[in-house]
Amino acid sequence: MRILGIGDNILSGAAVIEDGHVIAAVNEERLARKKMVMGFPRQSIRMVLELAHLQPHQIDYVAVASHRGHYLDQYVEFDAGTFGVDRGFIKSTFMSMGSAVSFLHGQLPFLEPLYYGLRTPIYAHRREAIRKVLQKEFDLTCPVQFIDHHFAHACSAFYSSGYDDALVVTMDASGDGSSSHVYRVRNGIWECLHRVPSFDSLASYYAYVTHLCGFKAGKHEGKITGLAAYGHARYRKTLEQFIGYENGTVVNRGKVFYSSALKTLRRALPEDFSKQDLAATIQDTSESVATSYISYWRERATMANVAVAGGLFANVKINQRIHEIPGVESVFIHPAMSDEGLPVGAALALTYQRSRHPAQLPRQCFAHVYLGPEYNETDIERLLAQAEVPFVHCDQVEERIAQLLSNGHVVARFAGRMEYGPRALGNRSILYRPDDPSVNDWLNKNLKRTEFMPFAPSTLVEDADAYYRGLDGARDAARYMTITFDCTTKMRQQCPGVVHVDNTARPQLVSAQDNPGYYRILQAFKRRTGMSSIINTSFNIHEEPIVCSPEDAIRAFKIGHLDYLALGSFIAENPAHPRRSLHSVTDMVHTAELGSRTHGEAIDCALHDRGIS
């Protein structure tokens, strides 16, 4: 059974699943070259059909994630910072009305059904419009099924986890009227144990704090997670009046949402509140609420394995806490945990719903996440020649990359199929050696990024136990950079560039099975330096999506002031070479001495630059 999965709103995209295995998956932002663009994913649909070598008549079903939503025919720039104010008149009106009367939630229980009921024609229009576009523009005449948003998240988590049985938890800001679902999956059969309404959304409160700290809600929550390590959870009592855990569920105690939540929360905080401390508070509160909630349901469901998906689990620190819950033997986070994973999730959900033998469905829908487009060497060579950058062909390109890295150069690597999900995992990555603690400052500056969490390491899987504590039960999650671990002393000393101030790192454990070429680079780098890790940050420039094509890579290479570009088996050199590379051990030691202070100062500067210090 071949299913085309579609997500058509935030982080839209498409995927092709055949008998429970993902053949191809890509998100529209990468092809449209607009970060987190919203809108019907025409380019993604064409791309995944091409990658799967399928004609429209060979698709048996189309699975579209979410029952509720607006149809967005054209691209709409993502900007949740104003919580819907810029999302068109009708939606803005509904959201403002709902927000204004939100304090009545609970007293007038008919309000919520009324709110969604009034929007029914909008949802019906979307379903009709999608069916029409699929038929007219893609010649897809097969049945089109719409899948519950959270069930799609849940299926993405379980069917990629490898678990036979598991507790499956989804948590996000909102989808189809819910902010969380809890399922028990035993012998292939799903049982829904609990739902939390959108109104009681923990992830929404994280978004409100992101906004109050001067960043874009729904987009920059990762910055808050990084910033939290520099603060103290001083406003815990205040935040607990707004959101908390009670008797197996999440409760919006403040009874406010969207703009009313922003106003009320801002009023409840001191005039001169500290951004670091507010970040620490929401992180602390979120860890506490999420772990109490999951712990309760894990115990009730008597499950040792926990699989999760939904935007809240983009939070690598919350995921570490889930791993530490007593009784949780193993945790798995779907690599595309936010709505970018919905096309895969919707197709997997429909596979389950159509299956006569659900217990026999594959539990690992992919062997790795390199599920996007790839480009041939002839095209790459032609494009490099056109770009007028000096380049050479290398028979042993991985060895050459390792040599450049060991000599202190920054290398952008573009190879093979693009990654599925938000993380660059070696094929669209910027690489650097991990022993330079000042790298977070100068490389982020070159890339025009503001980050409070250090770069992430890629580590040889066979050496991982020497560098990270508590890997057991989360080794699969660590293949995708979705969870933090406490670092060993050896890691702190050897790789200060990738260890956060709270002594954690969020590694990608690299094996020859997952990515042979990248694994060879790590092996060669270890032979030269004795280090089993390298820095891996996504290959993109400020506020642009990760590069997809060779053209994107060459453009980002030129703008990003990077030293070398490894494009397939070619190496291009940046003739400008703006940065003096660190060659000598003396330089390294000197920089290491300055490192932590420099990064701490950079945090203050970054906040100051944004007018939020």
Q: Which residues bind Fe ion (CB under 5 A)?
A: 172, 175, 339
Q: Which is nearer to Fe ion, 181 or 526 (CB)?
A: 181
DSSP class per residue in 252-276: ETT---HHHHHHHHHHHS-TT--HH
Q: Which is nearer to Fe ion, 72 or 278 (CB)?
A: 72
Q: Which is nearer to Fe ion, 8 or 172 (CB)?
A: 172
Vertex 212: Cα angle to 207 and 216 (nearest 5): 55
The H or E element spanning position 444 is helix 439-446
Q: Which is nearer to Fe ion, 173 or 185 (CB)?
A: 173
Alpha carbon dihedral 556, 542, 496, 234, in 10-degree steps, equals -170
Q: Which is nearer to Fe ion, 174 or 459 (CB)?
A: 174
Alpha carbon dihedral 146, 147, 149, 151, in 10-degree steps, equals 180
Residue written as tokens 């599920």? Answer: 371
Residue whose C-alpha is closest to residue 182's, from 49, 29, 25, 294: 294
For β-strands 13-18 and 2-7, DSSP reports them as antiparallel
Q: Which is nearer to Fe ion, 177 or 254 (CB)?
A: 177
Q: Which is nearer to Fe ion, 69 or 568 (CB)?
A: 69
Measured from the Cβ of residue 289, the count of other Cβ atoms closer than 10 Å reads 23
Closest approach, Cβ 179 to Fe ion, in A, equals 9
End-to-end C-alpha distance for the chain, whole angstroms: 55
- CB neighbours of 472 closer than 8 A, spacing ≥ 6? none
Q: Which is nearer to Fe ion, 29 or 339 (CB)?
A: 339
Measured from the Cβ of residue 457, the count of other Cβ atoms closer than 10 Å reads 27
**Sheet-wide strand order for 61-65:** 21-27, 13-18, 2-7, 61-65, 144-147
Q: Which is nearer to Fe ion, 339 or 451 (CB)?
A: 339
Task: Judge contact between 340 and 28, C-beta under 8 A.
Answer: no
What is the Cα gyration radius of the chain?
23
Residue nearest to Fe ion (CB): 172
Residue whose C-alpha is closest to residue 229's, from 173, 292, 282, 289: 282
Task: Judge contact between 426 and 38, C-beta under 8 A.
Answer: no
